Amino acid sequence: MRTAPTILHLDMDAFYASAEQAAKPSLRGKAVVVGGLGPRGVVATASYEARKFGVHSAMPMGQARRLAPNAAYLVPRFGLYREVSEQVMTLLRRLSPLVEPLSLDEAFVDLEAGGVADDRASALAVGERLRADIKAVTGLTGSVGLAASKMLAKIASEEAKPDGLRLIEPGTERDLLAPMSVRTLPGVGPATGDHLRRGGILTVGEIAGAGEDELVRLLGKSHGSALYAMALARDERPVVAERDTKSVSVEDTYDVDIHDRVRVRGEVARLADRCVERLRAAGHSGRTIVLKVRRFDFSTLTRSETLRGPTDDPGVVREAAARLLESVDTTGGVRLLGVGVTGLADYTQEDLFAQAQAEAEAVEAQEAREAEDQGEERGGEAPGESVGGAVEVPVTPVVPAVPVVPAERRWAAGHDVRHAEYGHGWVQGSGLGRVTVRFETPVSAPGRVRTFRTDDPALEPAEPLPLVAPSEEGLEAPEALEAQ
């Protein structure tokens, strides 16, 4: 293991909720909860103000509303979060070529590989400067941990929260870990924690004291040996710049169980298309199509089909997912559906049958267009048999047009809108044909609230605004960071 604390772990503070507070001046300093707002939604992130009421990530949204009824509940805006995440990752990549993102808001950095730190003092300087740069560029805060290993750097960043920096001195790791709960170590979840508790082991120090043989007896060879090594602060895992994507998938949980088989088929087709969009965006193709179905009784079924070669064709994925669905009984209702692709590759070997079918459909469509063009050239007369010089033209009965009722426009809480008169704002809530909007921007004072009809033509969805005004952003060029 290293002798200098040159592994850095960055964890943005309550990332989604903090981004929403930065974008919405009226929510700063107030409880904010981001997640699915339906009856089966869960909390993605809660602001520190909301955490005081006991709200935390992965909590059912209904429980969160009971704990913090006056909090602001918002639908995630992943487009905004990805933009801010990319700004943060750009800052990290300027420090080192070895940056290992774990999620949109979390990453490891090998400072030694970047030549920016080789001892305690230089690592501290880089960590403090990084925190300041993130604040200047994004308006948000992040917590930084520094240590000689990835495990300890992550523990350090947790101790630094919120908006802090913690460095664990090499050589002090075992003393630091000894009194901590076993749940502190990576890979120790509720089940493993309960197993250790039943064996009389509650702290990391007790893991080290139990010995490797006892850990192997309790947890098995692989997990027991790995956990014992971590309790002794041994972690030789390197920072890996790129991780191989093993699968691409999308899934939706429905507020009300779906019983209509036709709608289930339609949802599976829609999910297949979304999955292919993600697959293509990542530059991949895949051989194995996976369907996931969670039924009304919470039983979860998965079905898979492996193709002859990798594909990124939406038609192929749709057809495979539809075939898989035929083997699943959904009569009792479906609460979740998902479509995924595994066995990824960076090339495609299209399904020849699907290609041939698509080509045949294209030929049929072209022939139909040519026939229609010929009919127009004859003055619009349909072909018929001539009797006594007259042409019999089949009469098509006139069916009165049924007026199409447009679907009610939906406005997600927290999402951006623009009004022709009042400018940029965000949705506070909607229902009963009305939508309430607060008009403010990230750089304005808290704005006023106005209510409109959901079909108001002056109100349109809008893209998120930058959290920091361009004139206020720091480090717009890479040279700015290097010069510091």
Active-site annotation, residues: 106
88: CB partners within 8 A, 6+ apart:
10, 12, 105, 107, 134, 137, 138, 142
**Rounded distance between C-alpha atoms, residue 276 and residue 283, angstroms:** 10
How many Cα atoms within 13 Å fall on the side-chain side of residue 281?
Answer: 8
Q: CB of 382 within 8 A of CB of 393? A: yes
**In terms of Cα–Cα distance, which of 169, 160, 173 is closest to 205?**
173
Give the Cβ contact number of residue 165 at 10 Å: 19
- Alpha helices, H only, 351-461: 352-377
Residue 275's CB: how many other CB atoms inside 10 A? 27
| Tokens 């903090």, residue located | 18
* DSSP category for residue 421: T
Distance CA 167, CA 125 (A): 11
**What's the CA gap between 474 and 18, in Å, rounded?**
19
Cα→Cα distances 107→85, 119, 179, 219, 270, Å:
10, 21, 26, 29, 32
Position 480, amino acid: A
Instruction: Tell me if residue 319 falls in helix, strand or coil.
Output: helix
The alpha carbon of residue 384 and the mean position of all alpha carbons in its chain are separated, in whole angstroms, by 60
Whether the link from the prior residue into 400 is cis, omega within 30° of 0, is no
Assign residue 123 a region: left if phi > 0, alpha if psi is -120 to 50, beta otherwise? alpha
- 478's CB contacts (< 8 A; 6+ apart) are 94
Nearest to 10 by CA among 138, 136, 160: 160
End-to-end CA distance of the chain: 30
Placement of tokens 């400018």 in the chain? 423
Residue 370 carries which side chain, given as an amino acid letter?
E
